[in-house]
Structure 1
């Protein structure tokens, strides 16, 4: 019987918001994942420095995923002073789970289209599958991808979780679009972002005076 897969959701989570939860839960059900590891970045290299400290971002993720079956916080990256890169993270997880355990890296379509700019990006496919969340009615099209990414996509889109790594698997995310930038802007302006944030997150932000509160 094939091993169940483990999902991996990395990000700054600055702050964690409802779209993160929707992506993780949809992927967990769609691919029958054993669990989803949430891995907040410490020193991300693909975006600006986080507004909140690593300890605050860890605390917010912990609040967001509390009492949600199948979600687990991995604090290793956030507690490290080393830059956060995907390939070293996957190598660390391979040491933890072994060579045969299917690992599934979760990403949105925009992040996937930018994959060729990632550090050592081609090595990702030897370490994990890549599950790409798309919005309803949107189809990943090789014609809009960088040529090197299109070649990988055309080769790998028919792979399966029977292997430990190597497939690219699009899936539809039926959820509203939320960005951390929009959430921070609303919070700073004194507006309530409502269901954009998981329960307890806005209280934490206000209590700890994050994002200009």
Structure 2
């Protein structure tokens, strides 16, 4: 039985912080695989600057040398307005039915789920396990205790709360802005992705 982490994000673009976070989580939580799961640009709650094919390709370039990292285009193929994280995790639990599945997310998303902003949030928490990464200014224990959705569906093993120990919060937004304004974000993302962005004139 393997332990598999599902790491969902827009990855627009994937950054060195994404990779460092996935590596840290895999090491500390003894994960056998981390699946990078880019969300579709058809989603109505997010505005992405880049076509799905480019974001997927950059992930593939970024993780090609790490045997623990894989990418999956499941959400890119779905009708984005019909699918929630709950349905996504049901899919992966069927694909990896003999393994333990964990959803990797930041504490900011835990706040959103606790406030009822996610579809099927009650079932999502009740039926799944989560690795939650600390964010500055968010007390994860208090977030859980103050939310009926979170505290009433936590059996004691639902949430693995993880403090990375180092605040590295450089965002994809920052990198996009640097490219757009003629900045130089070269060492904030993998070299292969930097070159890909330059080659395809992304984020101009």
- What interval of TM-score do these two structures reach, taking the shorter chain for normalisation? 0.7 to 0.9
Say how many residue pairs are matched. 200
SS at 1:117's partner residue?
coil
Change (3 A) 1:150 1:136: same
Q: Quick check: 2:108–2:138 contact (8 Å CA) kept in 1?
A: no
Cα offsets for 1:29-67 (capped at 9, x unmatched): 111111011111114647322110000010011111111
- DSSP-derived class of the 1:191 partner: coil
Would you say the 8 A contact 2:122–2:149 is kept in 1?
A: no
* Residue of structure 2 in register with 1:170 after alignment: 161
Aligned to 1:88: 87
Match of 1:119 in 2: 119
Query: Structure 1 regions of 5+ residues with no counterpart?
Result: 160-166
CA contact under 8 A between 2:107 and 2:138: conserved in structure 1?
no
Q: How far has the Cα of 1:28 moved from its partner? A: 0.6
Offset at residue 149 of structure 1 (A): 4.2
SS in 2 for 1:39: strand
Change in CA separation of 1:86 and 1:198 when aligned onto 2, cut-off 3 Å:
same
CA–CA distance in structure 1, aligned partners of residues 79 and 43 of structure 2? 13
Map 1:67-146 onto structure 2 (within 5 A): 67-83=65-81, 84-98=83-97, 101-115=99-113, 116-135=116-135, 139-142=139-142
Number of the residue aligned with 1:184: 176
Q: Please report the TM-score for the alignment, with normalisation by the length of structure 2.
A: 0.87
TM-score by length of 1: 0.84
Q: Give the superposed CA RMSD.
A: 2.3
User: In the alignment, what sits opposite 2:191?
Assistant: 199
- The Cα shift of 1:85 comes to 1.9
1:52 counterpart SS class:
coil
| Cα distance per residue 1:173-209 (max 9 Å; x no partner) | 2351111111111111111113321221111111111
- Cα distance in 2 for partners of 1:143, 1:87 equals 20
Partner Cα distance (2:145, 2:190) in 1:
33
State the 1:79 CA deviation. 3.2
Cα distance change of structure 1 residues 110 and 104 upon mapping to structure 2, 3 Å threshold: same
The answer for the alignment partner of 1:19 in structure 2 is 17
Q: Which moved more, 1:126-135 or 1:180-189?
A: 126-135
